Amino acid sequence: MEQVQAEIRRKYRIPPQVAEAIGLLRAMSVLRLDMLLAAGALNILGLALPLAMLQIYDRIIPNAAFGTLGILVLGLGTAIIMEAVLRQARSAIIAWEGARFEHRTTVELVERFLDAPVAEVESKAIGTHLDRLNSVEAIRDFYGQQASLLLVDAPFLIIYLGLMAYIGGAMVLAPVLLVALFGTLAWVTGHALHDVHGKRKVLDDRRYNFIVEVLSNIHTAKGLAMERVLARRYERLMASSAALSWRANYLGSVSESFGSGFAQLSTIAVGGFGAWLVIHGQMSTGALAAATMLAGRSVQPLLRSLALWTRYQAVRLSMERMRAIASMPRERNEDAATLGALESLTLENVFFRYVEEGPQLLPDST
């Protein structure tokens, strides 16, 4: 995975964070040709309902064209069924690729962990290593379900906005301006969330290390009657962690609530401006209905992408923890030449100790 990210940075000259995200998506097989074709088909099928509403209000109802209505409803139903089948198939493929990514990455990290020098492993507590290994699951959930779907669907938003501009003209500015305003808010909230998640990770490491130490020395703790003291210590650790969890959940809920509010404001703005155009004869009723539906389909992915930005702050810390294991030095050199069979081996003046300052376990042995 590190080689893939280095190749992407060298070839396209993009920031390391973007290269890392693209490398993860490629590792999950999300950027495959069939997945991109499925995304294109889904977004094209999504245009069926707005265009059908345009025809119903402007052509079918004024002319009482029941035959055309039947054919249109049949075609619309077929498009909806095809869209549902494609979405289910795509979700199943992405979930499977995410599971494969988690299995492959976890195995690689455990191998790197086992190949690391003993001093490097013992320099961190057990709880820290466990938390680093568990970070793969958070990365899998983010890139394998949310970010991947949004990334492959995002380029097709140009189609929705372009069609909305073609139908409603300046009406397209309403959702774009509202999304820009919400993006500024999400950017500020995201940086605040990153700081909160960083502090929370530090406290969680202390809490997990405390639990591991207590369970490893439970007989000593009970023999010294330290149950109450240890319980009070854990209570203080949990109180600090809970306070930061509340702060993170609060900032996340603020971003989501503002996103829902901006989506409603976008619908109101498009509907109000479109109604003014209809009253003055500059737009038909069908065009207003189609533009309103297109605004909803274009604003929701944009708002979801900005909401993902706030969630990405927690995933960034998980990626840093995963890199901490991936960057651990190896105790053995895989490129070294393999020795053949040895008939005998003689060791002279051998010294051995686990750490640099530790005692000699084999002092001048032969």
CATH number at residue 98: 1.20.1560.10
Residue matched to tokens 């086992």: 114
Q: Which long-range contacts (CB under 8 A, 24 or more apart) does 111-115 make?
A: 112/325, 112/326, 112/328, 112/330, 113/325, 113/328, 115/330, 115/331, 115/332
Over the stretch 289-338, which tens digit does the pLDDT of each residue have? 888 888 877 777 777 777 677 777 777 777 777 777 777 777 765 565 66
- Partner residues linked to 350 by β-bridges: 365
Both structure tokens of 348: 């002279």
d(CA 260, CA 303): 8
Q: What is the DSSP letter of 321?
A: H
Whether residue 14 is contained in a domain is answered as no
**Which of these, 121, 38, 59, lies nearest to 287 by C-alpha position?**
59
Whether residue 291 is contained in a domain is answered as yes
- Partner residues linked to 365 by β-bridges: 350
Over the stretch 98-120, which tens digit does the pLDDT of each residue have? 778 778 888 888 888 788 887 77
d(CA 293, CA 297): 6
Whether residue 135 is contained in a domain is answered as yes
Identify the domain containing residue 88 by its residue range.
Answer: 32-326
Whether residue 359 is contained in a domain is answered as no
- Rounded to two decimals, what is the model's pTM? 0.62
Count the alpha carbons within 13 Å of 17 in the hemisphere toward its beta carbon: 8
Residue matched to tokens 């369970």: 215
Number of domains in the chain: 1
Both structure tokens of 223: 């023999």
Whether residue 267 is contained in a domain is answered as yes
Contact 27, 100 (CB under 8 A): no
Whether residue 248 is contained in a domain is answered as yes
| Cα separations in angstroms, 224 against 37, 160, 207 | 66, 69, 21
* Residue range 122-145: mean pLDDT, rounded: 74
Whether residue 80 is contained in a domain is answered as yes
What pLDDT was estimated at residue 5?
47
Q: What is the DSSP letter of 59?
A: I
**Which of these, 25, 4, 183, lies nearest to 98 by C-alpha position?**
25
Whether residue 20 is contained in a domain is answered as no
Q: Which amino acid does the sequence have at 349?
A: N
Least confident span in 13-27, 174-188, 190-204: 13-27
